[in-house]
């Protein structure tokens, strides 16, 4: 299954605004995407509670997985969001990231 393993780049970790932006982008993808930390269970990337439950901080390695048509493009978009520091970016540059690609 196509996957991407990246390190969380947002200063405050994968919660609050970075998590909300990531989750809305994940939910907007045409394929179902999962996220996990280490060898933990893969959970839906489009669920804010599941993503918060990961407790991922800046520097935590996470793995995204998706299958089906558009999976590679979806993973590229979401992996790019994860590595960026979303805390430091204005809302306008990230708000459309989920649907733009």
Partner 1 sequence: MAEPASTRPGAGLLDRDAIRLSERAATTDEAIRRCGETLVEVGAVTPAYVEAMLAREQTISTYVGEGVAIPHGTLTAKECVRRDALAVLRFPDGVDWNGNRVLVCVAIAARGDGHVEILSELAQILLDPERARALREATEPDEVLALLSPVRKESTA
Query: Where do contacts with partner 1 occur on this chain (CB under 8 A)?
Result: 11-13, 15-17, 20-21, 37-40, 47-58, 60, 87, 91
> Residue 38 gets which letter from DSSP?
T
- Residue whose pair of structure tokens reads 């998590």 in the numeric block: 19
Please name the residues in contact with 88: beta carbons below 8 A apart, sequence gap of 6 or more.
11
Q: How far is the CB of 68 from partner 1 (least distance, A)?
A: 25
39 or 69: CB nearest partner 1: 39
Q: How far is the CB of 39 from partner 1 (least distance, A)?
A: 8
- Residue whose pair of structure tokens reads 């045409």 in the numeric block: 30
Please name the residues in contact with 3: beta carbons below 8 A apart, sequence gap of 6 or more.
63, 64, 65, 66, 75
Output the DSSP codes for 74-101.
HHHHHHHHHHS-GGGS-HHHHHTHHHH-
Q: How far is the CB of 67 from partner 1 (least distance, A)?
A: 23
15 is catalytic: yes
33 or 51: CB nearest partner 1: 51
Catalytic residues: 15
């Amino acid at each position: 299954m196509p996957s991407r393993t990246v390190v969380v780049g947002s200063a405050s970790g994968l919660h609050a605004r970075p998590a909300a932006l990531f989750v809305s982008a994940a939910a907007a993808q045409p394929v179902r995407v999962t996220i996990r930390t280490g060898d933990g269970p893969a959970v839906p990337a489009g669920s804010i509670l599941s993503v918060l439950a990961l407790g991922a901080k800046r520097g935590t390695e996470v793995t995204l997985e998706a299958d089906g048509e558009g999976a590679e493009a979806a993973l590229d978009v979401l992996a790019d969001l994860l590595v960026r520091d979303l805390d430091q970016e204005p809302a306008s540059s990230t708000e459309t990231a989920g649907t733009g690609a």
